[in-house]
């Protein structure tokens, strides 16, 4: 069985829970994507930009000093942080903007949390001459000022969102409202494997290049598959990108969510660890909600993980035990951020620092012959202010 099925379901997860106005658009997008996927020209074009513009393939770097310091398994880092714009997000934005152009759309809208997806979208829109509008929660604008400035430099308009919790979830609501209004001209470029079908499918496909490369690279370097794959999970795109090509292999797959102040407090974003199934932003998936089905406000020191939902394929992976999900706290992520900066000379994004924190914890319990691949989804330049102002555990 191949997932998602025709209804956009991964097992019971996924689907299209959206206003009627959008259904014909989703159908149009799906058929355009399925046609593009088979089209050699499209593949060639996408690969050209991924290679020449974004900087693929990214290295699979053996982090020898970290591995030694911990004294456990060999830790490899998939260096998505080295991509143009500094995160994995550009894999997806290139794919979707090229697709939108094929569909004759002239206007691109996107939501952004950390600003990384917004920057990647603004960048590709500048490259391909598209109008670009990015919705961003007021709180995120405040904590990621540099990325707002970057988007504006790139010619995008950043629209502050003041509804709800003023973060990523509300930016998505606002983007959907725009899309419902401007259906004919506009492509909504979702930044993760969330939203209604076919988004979880096409974003996964555009990000799966991460796992395909990593597989080839580890086989070349080690002559075998890794024992563990570790990636952080916000909406779930960098993680699904790494995991997907390994899903049938004998590899332990671990997604790391944002534990915030701790998963037993009310301040975290550990959707798969602590949530329950429901419908948000067009898909049936795990989410953080109260007993009445209202969506709960989340917290993470990493803006890109601060989201109460998660891609439906991860929910499916969880229920079928294809992957395992865990969480690390703000404090642990910040510590990993410092350690990796000091020991490897790599400043990771705070999102990626969650995966690193868990990898280091796990590695200390493993023997030297084990291999871990961690997805280093982005670089940390955008987070310097947050880290500088971080005052440690609040309790």
Partner 1 sequence: MNIKEVFAEKLSKGERVIIPYITAGFPGLEETIELIRVIENAGCGIAEVGVPFSDPMADGPTIQYSSQKALEKGVTLGKTLALLKKNRAKFHIPLVIMGYYNPFYQFGLEKLAREAKEAGVQGFIIPDLPLEEAGEWVKLCRSHEIDTIFLVSPTTSLERAEKIAKLCTGFLYCVSVTGVTGARKEFPPYLKNYLKNLQKITDLPRAVGFGISSPEHIKMLYPHAEGMVVGSALIEVIRKHPRQPQLGEETAKFLGGLVQAAANR
Ligand X SMILES: Cc1ncc(COP(=O)(O)O)c(C=O)c1O
What does the binding site for partner 1 look like in residue numbers (CB under 8 A)? 7, 15-25, 163-164, 169-170, 173, 176-177, 180-184, 278-282, 289, 291-295
Site for ligand X in 78-97 (CB under 6 A): 87
Site for ligand X in 191-250 (CB under 6 A): 192, 232-239
Pick the closer one to partner 1 by CB: 197 or 215.
197
Among ligand X, partner 1, none, the one that 7 touches (CB under a kind-dependent 5 to 8 A) is: partner 1
Using the rule CB under 6 A, is 121 a contact of ligand X?
no
Site of tokens 């803006």: 303
Q: Pick from 10, 133, 377, 386: which binds ligand X (CB under 6 A)?
A: 377
x/- site string to ligand X, residues 159 to 198, per CB under 6 A? ---------------------------------x------
Query: Nearest-CA neighbor of 352 among 374, 330, 331?
Result: 374
Among ligand X, partner 1, none, the one that 233 touches (CB under a kind-dependent 5 to 8 A) is: ligand X
Residue 182 burial (CB < 10 Å; 0-12/13-18/19+)? middle
Query: SS in 3 state form for 264-287?
Result: CCCCCECHHHHCEEEEECCEEEEE
User: Annotated catalytic residue: which of 78, 89, 105, 215?
Assistant: 89
Tell the smallest beta-carbon distance from residue 325 to ligand X (Å): 12
* DSSP letter for each residue of 137-152: EHHHHHHTHHHHHHHH
Rounded distance between C-alpha atoms, residue 345 and residue 218, angstroms:
22
Tell the smallest beta-carbon distance from residue 30 to partner 1 (Å): 12
Rounded distance between C-alpha atoms, residue 342 and residue 332, angstroms:
15
Among partner 1, ligand X, none, the one that 183 touches (CB under a kind-dependent 5 to 8 A) is: partner 1
Using the rule CB under 6 A, is 271 a contact of ligand X?
no
Rounded distance between C-alpha atoms, residue 295 and residue 309, angstroms:
9
Q: Is 31 a catalytic residue?
A: no
Q: Is 239 a catalytic residue?
A: no
Contact 91, 57 (CB under 8 A): no
Using the rule CB under 6 A, is 300 a contact of ligand X?
no
Among partner 1, ligand X, none, the one that 377 touches (CB under a kind-dependent 5 to 8 A) is: ligand X
E-strand ranges in the chain read 9-10, 13-14, 60-62, 74-79, 107-112, 131-137, 157-161, 186-188, 228-232, 252-258, 276-280, 283-287, 324-328, 371-376
Pick the closer one to ligand X by CB: 302 or 366.
302
Among partner 1, ligand X, none, the one that 236 touches (CB under a kind-dependent 5 to 8 A) is: ligand X
Using the rule CB under 6 A, is 259 a contact of ligand X?
no
Q: Pick from 111, 257, 332, 351: which binds ligand X (CB under 6 A)?
A: 351
Q: Is 395 a catalytic residue?
A: no
* 156: CB partners within 8 A, 6+ apart: 118, 121, 122, 125, 126, 132, 133, 134
Rounded distance between C-alpha atoms, residue 325 and residue 140, angstroms:
26
* 165: CB partners within 8 A, 6+ apart: 137, 139, 297, 298
Structure tokens at 257: 């969510």
Tell the smallest beta-carbon distance from residue 310 to ligand X (Å): 8
Name the residues annotated as catalytic.
89, 111, 377
Binding site for ligand X (CB under 6 A): 87, 113-114, 116-117, 192, 232-239, 304-305, 349, 351-352, 377-378
């Amino acid at each position: 069985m191949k997932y998602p099925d025709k209804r956009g379901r991964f097992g019971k997860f996924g689907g299209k829970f959206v206003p009627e106005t959008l259904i014909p658009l989703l159908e149009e997008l799906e058929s355009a994507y399925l046609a593009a996927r088979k089209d050699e020209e499209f593949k060639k074009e996408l690969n050209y930009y991924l290679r020449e513009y974004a900087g693929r393939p990214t290295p699979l770097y053996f982090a020898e000093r970290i591995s030694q310091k911990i004294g456990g398994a060999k830790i490899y880092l998939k260096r998505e942080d080295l991509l143009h714009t500094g995160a994995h997000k550009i894999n997806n934005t290139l794919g979707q903007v090229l697709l939108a152009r094929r569909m004759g759309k002239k206007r691109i809208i996107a939501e952004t949390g950390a600003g990384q997806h917004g920057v990647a979208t603004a960048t590709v829109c500048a490259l391909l001459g598209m109008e670009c509008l990015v919705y961003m929660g007021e709180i995120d604008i405040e904590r990621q000022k540099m990325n707002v400035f970057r988007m504006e430099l790139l010619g995008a308009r950043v629209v502050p969102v003041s509804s709800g919790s003023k973060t990523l979830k509300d930016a998505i609501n606002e983007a959907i409202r725009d899309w419902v209004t401007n259906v004919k001209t506009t492509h909504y470029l979702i930044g993760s494997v969330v939203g209604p079908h076919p988004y979880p499918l096409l974003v996964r496909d555009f990000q799966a290049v991460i796992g395909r490369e990593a597989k080839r690279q580890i086989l070349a370097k080690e002559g075998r598959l890794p024992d563990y794959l570790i990636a952080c999970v916000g909406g779930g795109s960098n993680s699904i990108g790494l995991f997907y090509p390994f899903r049938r292999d004998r590899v332990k797959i671990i997604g790391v969510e944002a534990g915030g102040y701790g998963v037993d407090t009310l301040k975290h974003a550990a959707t798969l660890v602590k949530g329950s199934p429901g419908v948000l932003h067009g898909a049936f998936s795990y989410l953080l909600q109260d007993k009445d089905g209202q969506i709960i406000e989340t917290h993470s020191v990493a803006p890109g993980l601060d989201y109460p939902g998660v891609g439906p394929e991860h929910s499916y992976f969880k229920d079928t035990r294809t992957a395992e999900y865990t969480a690390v706290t703000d404090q642990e992520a910040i510590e990993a951020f410092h350690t990796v900066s000091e020991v490897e000379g790599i400043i990771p994004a705070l999102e990626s620092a969650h995966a690193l924190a868990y990898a280091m914890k796990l590695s200390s319990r493993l023997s030297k012959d084990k291999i871990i691949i961690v997805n280093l989804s982005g670089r940390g330049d955008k987070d310097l202010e947050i880290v500088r102002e971080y005052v440690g555990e609040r309790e």
